[in-house]
C-alpha cells in the first residue's frame, strides 16, 4: 500500500508567492505583463497553467525548461515572504502512517523544486522521497502514474487499487478514478464535501484532523 498526497490546501496553506513567480518569469523571458485570470485552475498542474497563460497572452513558449527555471528562481528569491503553515492534523496523520510502515508520496501540481521547498518549510520533507510533479505533465493522471512508477522502484510492484490518493480538488479525485486508486477528498480547499463526492471521491473528510476516520479507511484496505 502507498498513500499519495496533494500539497496545497491538502497538507499546507501558503501565500501567493508561487503565482507571483509565474508573472515575473513571463516578464523576464517574453517581456509580457501577464494576468493570472485562468478560471477554475484549482488542481491544474503548473505545466498546464503555463501553457494556458501563454495561449491567453499569444506567447509561444520557446523552451519549457527555461520558464521553469525562471519560475523557480523567482520563487526561491521571494520564498521568505511565503506564509506556509501545515494544516491541522497533517503532522499527526503523517506520523501515524510512518509508524504503520506505510509509504507516503506526493502528487502535486507544483513544479518539483517548489514542491520540495514548500514541504521543507512545513517540516514535511522527511516523510516523502518520491512523487509526481506539476512540471511533468498537463494532466494530474499523468503525474499520478509517474508517482506510482517511482514508488515501484523503491517498494516493488504496486497495485493502483491498493493506493490511496488524498487531495482537495475534483481534479485530484478524477485523476485517481482514471488510474484506479482509492480517492480520499479533504474539504480544506475551495470545494465542499458534496462537490468532492460528485467528482468521484470514494471517501471525504472535513480535514485531516479526522485521523481516526482516515486510519479506518487505511485499515479497511489492508484487510
Q: Is 159 exposed, middle or buried (0-12, 13-18, 19+ CB in 10 A)?
A: exposed
Cut 0.75: pTM above it: yes
**Residue 223, pLDDT score:** 65
Cell of 135: 512540471
4 φ/ψ angles, rounded to the nearest 5 degrees: -110, 135
Contacts (Cβ under 8 Å, ≥6 apart) of 178: 141
DSSP string of 59-121, one letter each residue: ---S-HHHHHHHHHHHHHHHGGG---EEPTTHHHHHHHHHHHT--EEEE-SS-HHHHHHHHHH
Tens-digit pLDDT string for the chain (223 aa) = 999 999 999 999 987 788 899 999 999 999 999 988 888 889 999 999 999 999 999 999 999 999 999 999 999 999 988 889 999 999 999 999 999 999 999 999 999 999 999 999 999 999 999 999 999 999 999 999 999 999 999 998 899 999 999 999 999 999 999 999 999 999 999 999 999 999 999 999 999 999 999 999 998 887 6
Q: Is 134 exposed, middle or buried (0-12, 13-18, 19+ CB in 10 A)?
A: buried
**Residue 96, pLDDT score:** 96
**Residue 150, pLDDT score:** 97
- For residue 127, what is the DSSP state? G
- Give the Cβ contact number of residue 49 at 10 Å: 18
| CA separation for the pair 71, 119 (Å, rounded) | 17
Contacts (Cβ under 8 Å, ≥6 apart) of 210: 89
Among 164, 151, 203, 194, residue whose Cα is nearest residue 6: 164
175 in the Ramachandran plot: left (φ > 0), alpha (ψ -120 to 50) or beta? Answer: alpha
Amino acid at each position: 500500500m502507498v498513500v499519495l498526497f496533494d500539497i496545497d490546501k491538502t497538507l499546507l496553506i501558503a501565500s501567493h508567492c508561487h503565482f507571483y513567480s509565474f508573472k515575473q518569469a513571463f516578464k523576464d523571458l517574453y517581456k509580457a505583463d501577464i494576468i493570472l485570470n485562468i478560471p477554475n485552475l484549482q488542481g491544474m498542474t503548473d505545466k498546464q497553467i503555463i501553457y494556458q497563460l501563454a495561449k491567453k497572452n499569444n506567447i509561444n513558449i520557446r523552451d519549457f525548461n527555461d520558464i521553469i527555471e525562471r519560475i523557480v528562481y523567482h520563487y526561491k528569491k521571494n520564498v521568505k515572504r511565503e506564509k506556509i503553515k501545515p494544516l491541522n492534523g497533517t503532522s499527526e496523520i503523517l506520523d501515524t502512517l510512518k509508524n504503520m510502515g506505510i509509504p507516503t508520496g506526493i502528487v502535486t501540481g507544483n513544479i518539483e523544486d517548489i514542491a520540495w521547498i514548500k514541504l521543507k518549510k512545513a517540516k514535511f520533507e522527511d516523510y516523502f522521497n518520491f512523487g509526481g510533479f506539476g512540471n511533468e505533465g498537463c494532466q494530474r493522471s499523468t503525474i499520478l502514474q509517474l508517482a506510482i512508477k517511482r514508488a515501484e522502484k523503491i517498494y516493488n510492484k504496486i497495485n493502483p487499487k491498493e493506493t490511496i490518493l488524498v487531495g482537495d480538488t475534483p481534479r485530484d479525485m478524477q485523476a485517481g478514478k482514471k488510474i484506479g486508486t482509492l480517492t480520499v477528498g479533504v474539504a480544506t480547499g475551495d470545494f465542499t464535501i458534496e462537490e468532492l463526492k460528485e467528482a468521484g471521491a470514494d471517501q471525504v473528510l472535513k480535514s485531516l484532523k479526522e485521523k481516526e476516520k482516515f486510519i479506518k479507511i487505511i485499515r479497511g484496505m489492508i484487510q
